Amino acid sequence: MNIFNLLAPKEKKFFPMFEKATSNIVETSKVLVEMVNTSSMEKRKELIKKIEELEHVGDQITHDVFDHLGRTFITPFDREDIHELASVIDDIIDFIHGASKRIDLYKVNELPSEVKILADLCLKGSIELDIAIKELKDLKSVEKINEACVRINSIENHADDIYNMYIAKLFEEEKDPIKIIKFKEIISALEVATDKCEDAANVVKSIIVKHA
């Protein structure tokens, strides 16, 4: 426990910022799911642009957290945890954006079903993270936070299995090395996005361990 915590009321502005950040991730993941499932290339292009815009929104939120952290001496939990949590949430959206940008750049028309499954897992992970973050404010229900974190863990494990099976299949069945490069990079970005959800859940868990 930081002794300075005794000296002043805790700064509460971080919570609405984090809630904005996770809401933004949920929204981005929803657009991602729509984008990988549409059959219209025009619609897809539009949704990829929407993801790009949401990524800029996320950047601004992260910037606001860092800026506020720089100006605030007493924080509701450890400075390192606030910094880490904001960075990791920013990473989630960066990897979703990276995957969608690659789908665009590589001019991949047909997406494998694994891309759709991983997009779904990104959305599920984002929703659970949003739940955990919203509960963090008053630490009323540590149990609810823990449950969300457990679900994020199993979502990440599922994403890992999908990724591993897909890569093994890709190297066995796909004979065109250019397609291997393209699909491997797209699907890796989505898998890392779910990893980053788990990293965020780990920061949340370490915060409640210290404060519960």
Which residues contact its own copies (rule: CB under 8 A)? 1-3, 63, 66-67, 69-71, 73, 78-81, 83, 101, 105-107, 164, 167-168, 171-172, 177-178, 180-182, 184, 202, 206, 209-210
Min dist CB 165 to its own copies, Å, is 9
Please report the DSSP string for 144-182 in residue order. Answer: HHHHHHHHHHHHHHHHHHHHHHHHHHHHHH---HHHHHH
Give whichever of 53 and 67 is closer to its own copies, judged by the CB atom: 67
Provide the b/e sequence for 175-201 (b: ≥16 CB within 10 Å).
eeeeeeebbbebbbbbbbbbbbbbbbb
Among 166, 128, 20, 2, smallest CA distance to 74 is for 2
Give whichever of 46 and 78 is closer to its own copies, judged by the CB atom: 78
Query: Both tokens of residue 29?
Result: 């993941």
Min dist CB 9 to its own copies, Å, is 16
Give whichever of 69 and 142 is closer to its own copies, judged by the CB atom: 69
| Distance in angstroms (rounded) separating the CA atoms of residues 148 and 158 | 15
Min dist CB 26 to its own copies, Å, is 25
Give whichever of 113 and 164 is closer to its own copies, judged by the CB atom: 164
